[in-house]
Amino acid sequence: MIIRKLFKFENAHIVRNCTSRRCSKSIHGHSYRVEIKLQSNFLDNGEMVYDFGLMKTTIKTLIDSFDHAITLWSKDNKEYIEWAKKFSERYIILPVNPSAEQFSRVFFLIVDRVLECMEFKNGEKDIKVYSVVVHETDTGYAECFREDAYNFENMGEIKLEDIVFSDIIKEEWGDKNLWEKLLKKEKITPPKEV
Ligand SMILES: Nc1nc2c(c(=O)[nH]1)N=C([C@H](O)[C@H](O)COP(=O)(O)OP(=O)(O)OP(=O)(O)O)CN2
């Protein structure tokens, strides 16, 4: 069975080297909608794959980090990156160009790591990320499956270690060290109730 939870954020970017001129040469923003789809063949004690409320803890915190932020590609023009960091306290640096496709891969890998680290306290079993859909506009989206997320050869390697959240973003998290803990694959204990 697949369950799906929708998250929303507002974000600015430039996607270099694409054919759409407005997209590749001007900073612009989108009201992103991100669908996280989880899959399991089992149900927990509440007869759910995974409580939507639990998806609003760590997963939501990380996706919401992109809200009212600018997303930068680490290989973009250095002057532009420094300028954006200077004038926007909320920024994220990605090792890939911030297209809808790469956003969907980034979120797949992030949620995959969160589930790897998460403790399951209510009988949840064998929960996997099925896909991540990133809607950039009302008319265009990208959907990433596991084989896309880990298709480092053809789509570019995304190491979580290479994703940078600005200090101000991290300060908003309940646990400022959340990202470092995920990188070290430390266990995350969910709240007893949400
Ligand atoms: N495959 C992709 N194509 C484009 C992406 C992308 O991430 N993946 N991104 C862009 C731009 O960011 C652009 O802002 C969105 O382009 P577009 O869909 O053309 O946006 P519109 O709002 O103009 O769409 P309408 O359907 O005309 O309203 C470009 N392409």
Question: Ligand 1: which of 22, 71, 96, 136 to mutate, most ligand atoms within 8 Å of CB?
Answer: 136
Per the domain annotation, does 10 fall within a domain? yes
The domain in which residue 14 lies consists of 2-183
pLDDT on residue 63: 98
DSSP 68-110: TEEEEETTS-HHHHHHHHHH-SSEEEESS---HHHHHHHHHHH
Per residue in 45-96, pLDDT (tens digit) is: 999 999 999 999 999 999 999 999 999 999 999 999 999 999 999 999 999 9
The model's confidence at residue 168, banded by pLDDT at 50, 70 and 90, is very high
pLDDT on residue 88: 98
Atom number, ligand 1, closest to the C-alpha of residue 99? 7
Å from CA of 99 to ligand 1 middle: 9
Per the domain annotation, does 119 fall within a domain? yes
Whether 68 is catalytic: yes
Ligand 1 neighbour 29 (Cβ under 6 A): no
- One-letter amino acid of 30: H
pLDDT on residue 80: 98
Per the domain annotation, does 192 fall within a domain? no
pLDDT on residue 95: 98
Per the domain annotation, does 32 fall within a domain? yes
Looking only at Cα atoms, what is the longest distance across the chain? Answer: 53
Per the domain annotation, does 188 fall within a domain? no
List the catalytic residue out of 23, 35, 89, 143: 23
Å from CA of 101 to ligand 1 middle: 11
CATH number at residue 120: 3.30.479.10
Q: What is the DSSP letter of 113?
A: H
- One-letter amino acid of 111: V
List the catalytic residue out of 30, 124, 135, 136: 136
Which residue has the least CA distance to atom 24 on ligand 1?
A: 139
Q: Which of 35, 72, 101 is nearest to 169 (CA)?
A: 72
How many domains does the chain divide into? 1
Ligand 1 neighbour 17 (Cβ under 6 A): no
Question: Ligand 1: which of 19, 132, 137 to mutate, most ligand atoms within 8 Å of CB?
Answer: 137
- C-alpha of 109 from chain center: 7
What CA–CA distance (Å, rounded) separates 158 from 138? 27
Whether 144 is catalytic: no
Ligand 1 neighbour 20 (Cβ under 6 A): yes
Per the domain annotation, does 193 fall within a domain? no
Per the domain annotation, does 191 fall within a domain? no
What CA–CA distance (Å, rounded) separates 71 from 23? 13
Per the domain annotation, does 153 fall within a domain? yes
pLDDT on residue 15: 98
Q: What is the DSSP letter of 162?
A: G
What CA–CA distance (Å, rounded) separates 67 from 57? 16
